[in-house]
Amino acid sequence: MPPAALPWIVAIALNSGLLAIAWLLPKKLLTPAGYLHAWVLGVLVWGCLGWQGYTVVMVYFLVGTAVTRIGMAEKEAAGIAEKRSGVRGPENVWGSALTATVCAVGVLVTQQGWWGGLDAVWIGLFSLGYVASFATKLSDTTASEVGKAYGQRTFLITTLRPVPAGTEGAVSLEGTLAGIVGSAVMAAVGLATGLISPMGALLCLIAAFIATNAESVIGATLQEQLPWLTNELVNIANTTIGAIAAILLALLFF
C-alpha cells in the first residue's frame, strides 16, 4: 500500500465509524443529510491535515453545537432561535467549513512540491487560514447566540441604533466579548495541535474580530435587500474574510 494512501484509509474508517455511532444515538446533532456531508468533510480534513486539522474541526463542531443551545427555550419563544432547534443540515456544514476545506486542500496540494522553495511558507499560510476560518466562525456563532440569549442592549452595527435581539447586523457587548472568547478557543486548539504558532494564534484573534464585525455589516446592509443572500452564503463570506485577513496580516507583517 502506498504511504500516501494511509491517511485516506484512516480517514474513511474513522469517519465511517463515527457516522455509524452518531446515526444510532437518540440525540441528533445533524440531519441525516448533514451527517453524510459531515462525513465527506471529515474525510477531506483528515486526509489533508491529519489528526491536527481533524481536532480543530471537531472542537469547532462540538463547541459550536453547545453554544447554539444556550438559552434555546428563550430564543425559541422570541422566534430568534436557529432552525430545527440547532440541528444542522448540509448547508450549515459547508457554510461553516467550505473555506476551511479549501485551505486544507491547499496544504495538500502545496505538499506536492509545486511551489519550490516557497512550499513551507504556503503550507504555513494555508494552515493559518484553516484555523482562522474556524476561529471566525466560532466567534460569529458565539457572539450571535450569546447576544440573542443574554445581550442586555443590542445595536445595529452601522448606525448604533437600538434594535431587538436577533436583528440582522445587531451587536451587543455581551455577544462581542463572547465572540472573542470563541475565537480564542479555536486559536488555542490550533496552537496546541501545532498547526499555527503563537503569533499565528494572535493573528487568528485579530482576523476573527475583523471578519465577525464585517459579517454584521453585511447583515445590516445587504442581507435584508438581497433575497438570495442566505445565512449560509454570509457564513461562507464571513469565514473567507477571516482566512484572508489572517493570511494577509501574516504576509504584511511577518
Kind and range of the H or E element at 156? strand 154-156
Q: For cell 440573542, name the residue.
A: 148
Q: Is the pLDDT of residue 136 over 70?
A: yes
pLDDT at 59: 97
Task: State the amino acid at position 33 in one-letter form.
Answer: A
* DSSP per-residue codes, 172-220: EHHHHHHHHHHHHHHHHHHHHTTSS-HHHHHHHHHHHHHHHHHHHHHII
pLDDT at 116: 62
Q: Which three cell numbers stand for residue 161?
A: 441604533
Domain tally for the chain? Answer: 1
**Residue 84 Ramachandran class (φ > 0 left, ψ -120 to 50 alpha, else beta):** left
Kind and range of the H or E element at 12? helix 6-24
pLDDT tens by residue, 108-124: 999 877 666 567 889 99
pTM (2 decimals)?
0.91
Give the integer Cα–Cα distance in Å for 113 and 145.
Answer: 42
pLDDT at 74: 59
pLDDT tens by residue, 57-100: 999 999 998 888 776 655 555 555 555 555 788 899 999 999 99
Length reported for the chain: 254
Of the candidates 7, 91, 76, 83, the residue with the CA atom closest to the CA atom of residue 45 = 7
Which DSSP category does 233 fall into? H
Instruction: List CB contacts of 2: < 8 A, sequence separation 6 or more.
Output: none
Q: Confirm if 132 and 204 have CB atoms less than 8 A apart.
A: yes
Domain membership of residue 188 as a residue range = 3-253
Q: Which three cell numbers stand for residue 219?
A: 447583515
End-to-end alpha-carbon separation of the chain, Å? 40
